[in-house]
Amino acid sequence: MFNAVRLFLYDNSWDTWKNIVMGGEPPLSALSKFTLPPLSWRTLKKWTRRRVELTSQWRQLFVDQKLDIIICPGSPSSAPPHGCFGAVTYLANWNLCDFPACIIPFGEPLQSDDKFADIGTTPSEAENLIPNTIPFDPIQFKGGIGHVQIVARAYEDEKLIACGKIVNQVLHPRE
C-alpha cells in the first residue's frame, strides 16, 4: 500500500525537528513522538516513482474532465482544537503532487447536543503506522466548524485563489 504521508518522513523528520530547534520555538506536544525508521534508498526510489505516477494521474483527471478545481473534504470531521490533530491524510496527497490547496471554513460551531459519543474511537491499523497520531477523541470536535478544501493543478495558484473567492462567497453570502 502506498502511504503518501510516509514520503514526508523519509529522514524520520530530522529536517523538521532541526528547523523547529533552530527557530527557538518549542514543539507541540503532539509532535513529540516520531516512531518510523528512515526509508532505505530502494524504498525511497520506489515511492518517489509512485508519487510521480500519482501526480500524473491527478493531472490527467483535471485535463480529461476539464476541471478548474476539485472540492473535497480536508478532514473527515469538523475542526479540532489547536494541537489536537493527527495524520493529515486528506491533505498530504495534494502536497506530494505539488497541487495548491486551501481550506475554507463555514457554518456555526457544533452544538453540545451532537451525538459524538456514538462514534467509534479505535484507531485504524493505518493510523498506528503514522507518527504523531493522537488517539481520536470525538469530544474534542465539539464546537468545531465545517469546511471544504479546494485543490487546483500545479502552478495554478492564482486560479485556486480566484475560485476560492467564489466558493467563499457561496458559503458566506452577505445578507
At 22-57, the pLDDT tens digits run 888 776 666 555 555 667 788 888 888 988 999 999
Average pLDDT of the chain to the nearest whole number: 75
Distance CA 163, CA 149 (A): 11
What's the mean pLDDT in 78-92? 66
- Assign residue 107 a region (left: φ > 0; alpha: ψ between -120 and 50; beta: otherwise): left
* Between residues 158 and 118, the one the model is more confident about: 158
CB atoms near residue 68 (< 10 Å)? 14
Nearest Cα neighbor of 91 from 72, 106, 65 is 72
What's the mean pLDDT in 9-16? 62
DSSP state of 73: -
The model's pLDDT over 55-84, given as tens digits with 9 standing for 90+, comes to 999 999 999 999 999 999 887 777 666 666
- The CA–CA distances, whole Å, from 68 to 29, 94, 104, 153 equal 38, 15, 17, 8
Q: Which strands, in side-by-side order, build the sheet including 101-106?
A: 70-72, 146-151, 101-106
Cell of 8: 514526508
* Between residues 158 and 123, the one the model is more confident about: 158
Label residue 10 by pLDDT band (50, 70, 90). low
The residues spanned by each domain of the chain are 4-111+120-171
Nearest Cα neighbor of 104 from 146, 70, 139 is 146
pTM, to two decimals: 0.67
Cell of 40: 532505505
